[in-house]
Copies of this chain bind each other. A is one copy, B any other.
């Protein structure tokens, strides 16, 4: 019996062509069966359909006992708008599921983790297939779903619970009803397409909310736009600065980011 995976789009849409390419790759993984919800292709302004449609599709996938996992098709922006309402509607079948995604979908992963519902997992998404080398990212998830743990982030030690977030997503989660308690956790963050001054600003905010974590690991900070003048410090210097300011242990780099090499981080304790 294969692992049955429902795919929906809580933020922005993909195309039927994207889905077909992922299905073609999945043919190499007979232990995994993917089912794309039609909502993945809906379009309403910025989003993959209006809030109500995205909410309904996610809740349908999560509550369906016929699926073992829910894989988010794509980030972009929008899962925060439906996350609280979604959590309130989840039933027992959702609690037995794995939920996979990253970037904007971190709002849902964070909220699920806070609520103790199922297993949230930072992982590449179907949309990553559009990246250079993206096939590798999608195969990493398909293999993981089939039981191959080699795609997991290498620092996971099974001693500290971990989470992984896009830095903007984590900053926006802080203090909201979706924010999980992260005391004792190793917190991994990555960022993309933000000026370094904005990265510094996000660290100012997020680090003020992370008291009691076991430590912070910095993923890749990629596609930094050129500003009108140099910031004067690199991403790791920025991370160290704010960790020091708030007494958070800085633990080094994490092998995550908005790229094909993005590794898998199951929230909580590895091996559980």
A binding-site residues for B, Cβ under 8 Å: 44-47, 76-78, 80-81, 168, 171-172, 174-177, 196-198, 200-202, 204-205, 208-209, 227, 229-233
Contacts of A47 in B (CB 8 A): 232
Contacts of A176 in B (CB 8 A): 204-205, 208
Copies of this chain, tallied across the complex: 2
Which chain B residues lie closer than 8 Å to A76 at the CB level?
A: 197
Query: Contact: B77 with A208, CB < 8 Å?
Result: no
A46 touches B204 (CB 8 A): no
Q: Contacting A174 at CB < 8 Å: which of B44, B174, B231?
A: B174
Contact A233 B45 (CB under 8 A): yes
Which residue of chain B has the shortest Cβ distance to A77 in the bound complex? B197
Chain B residue with the shortest CB-CB distance to A81: B204
Min Cβ gap A81→B in Å is 7
Contact partner, A45, options B44, B175, B205, B230, Cβ 8 Å: B230
In the complex, chain B residues whose CB is within 8 Å of the CB of A204? 80-81, 172, 176
What is the CA–CA distance of A10 and B32 in the complex, to the nearest angstrom? 56
Q: Across the two chains, which residue of chain B brings its CB closest to A174?
A: B175
B81, B174, B232: the one within 8 Å of A46 (CB)? B232
**Interface pairs A-B: 4 shortest CB-CB:** A45-B232, A175-B175, A77-B197, A176-B208
B44 touches A208 (CB 8 A): no
Question: Can you give 10 contacting A-B residue pairs, CB < 8 Å?
Answer: A44-B232, A46-B197, A46-B231, A77-B197, A77-B201, A78-B197, A171-B172, A172-B201, A174-B174, A175-B209
The interface residues of chain B lying within 8 Å CB-to-CB of A198 are 77
List the B residue with the shortest CB-CB distance to A241.
B81
Cβ contact within 8 Å between A172 and B205: yes
Q: Is B200 within 8 A of A45, CB to CB?
A: no
Complex formed: what's the CA distance from A112 to B45 in Å?
A: 40
Task: Give bound CA distance, A177 to B245, whole Å.
Answer: 13
Cα A205 to Cα B168 in complex, Å, equals 11
Q: How far is the CB of A21 from chain B (nearest CB, A)?
A: 20
- With known contacts A77-B197, A201-B77, A201-B80, A208–B46 Cβ distance under 8 A: no
Q: What is the CB-to-nearest-CB distance from A136 to chain B, in angstroms, rounded to a whole number?
A: 25
Residue of A80, A204, A209 with most partner-chain B CB within 10 A: A204
Q: A229 and B46 in contact (CB under 8 A), knowing A77-B200, A201-B80, A204-B80?
A: yes
Q: Are A231 and B45 in contact (CB under 8 A)?
A: yes
Residues of B within 8 A of A200 (CB): 77, 81
Q: How far is the CB of A255 from chain B (nearest CB, A)?
A: 26
| B208-A175 in contact (CB<8A) | yes
Q: Report how far A47 CA is from B231 CA in the complex, Å.
A: 8
